[in-house]
Amino acid sequence: MPANFEIAYPWAFILLPLPFLVYWLMPALRIRSASLRLPTYEKALGYTGEKPRKSAFVRRRGLFTWIVLYLVWILLLSSLASPQLVGKPEMKVKTSRNFLIVADISFSMAQKDWEIDGEKVRRWDAVKVLMHEFIEKRKGDRMGLIFFGSSAYIQVPFTPDLETVNQLLDEADVGMAGQMTNIGKAIAKGVQLFEKDTIESKVMLLLTDGVDSGTDVLPLDAADMAKNDSILIYTIGIGDPSGVGVDLDEETLQEIADMTDAQYFQAKDEQRLQEIYQEVDQLEPIEYEEEENRPTTLLYYYPLGAALGLMMLMMLFQSLFQAFKGLRNKREEVTHG
């Protein structure tokens, strides 16, 4: 028997002796039948001195019938007890956080100085591959995407549908938001998106490889707005500051992270970026809660079906027996006639 087999209502088997109690305590069911009165009936009573009384025929069942009926009773009780296969308690992902990725897609992200499987690729292509892996691990969070360059725009509003997030991530490419890097405007756009939602836990992941070139909103002013709204901003600097073609303002990114009680990470290559994603996973772990209702597979219909089948077989057997008995009686009548 499987280890996860359980009986929901074992008390049902207390009724097992009920047929015996009924048989011993209840009077037998009397079946009336027609009788034949003789013309000399009254005279016979006078001669014998007997008084007429009502009588009935009590049908007797054979041992085989009693065994079958009791087996049916056991099967019915087994069905009533509700046997079932009970699985382990499932861990349900608890949606409790809005996680916003704010990614730089300015022209500098088109530099081919990163490698994937030994092949030189654009920074954006490498970042996008690793972002896919990161997003798939965030089941339980409501994810959103903002891309920025000279301006910032919302690619995906907050949604738990990570498949859609990944699909719309694929559709973004370098230059779609302009050629400059406006970090302050990107953070401000993220703060606006968070304001429209009611979930309290708010996390922003900012990825950029450049220096802020905007004049409308300064990065630290935008970070102060995020701090007032209790938004954590983890910043990731893409590229090696000492390398060729890298213009990264690590000091500003560090200040943004410090102001919002988060952390700054520096990703020189795709391997380091993957490690950073893992660190962020540990800093902002997915929350789970245990389901009280364990998955169950009900099995009551098996004993119920067996009981019905056994009753049908018994009735069929009795019908065949009566038919055979009647046929035999007719043959004996023909033989004696």
| Distance, CA of 183 to CA of 211 (rounded, Å) | 8
Let me know if 3 is exposed, middle or buried by CB neighbors in 10 A (0-12, 13-18, 19+): exposed
pLDDT number for residue 289 = 60
Q: What is the pTM of this model?
A: 0.59
pLDDT tens over the chain, length 337 residues: 677 788 888 999 999 998 888 878 877 666 666 666 666 666 766 777 777 666 555 556 677 788 888 899 999 999 999 888 887 766 665 666 789 999 999 998 988 888 877 788 898 998 898 899 889 888 878 899 999 999 999 999 999 899 999 999 999 999 898 888 999 999 999 999 998 777 778 899 999 988 888 778 899 999 999 999 999 999 999 887 776 666 788 899 999 999 999 999 988 888 888 888 888 888 887 665 655 566 788 888 899 999 999 989 888 888 887 788 777 777 766 665 5
Residues 6+ apart with CB under 8 A from 191: 222, 225, 226, 229, 231
Residue spans of the domains in the chain: they are 5-88+295-336, 92-290
pLDDT value at position 25? 83
Alpha-carbon distance of 80 to 18, in angstroms, equals: 15
Domain spanning 92-290, CATH class: alpha beta
Count the Cβ atoms, other than its own, within 10 Å of residue 16. Answer: 12
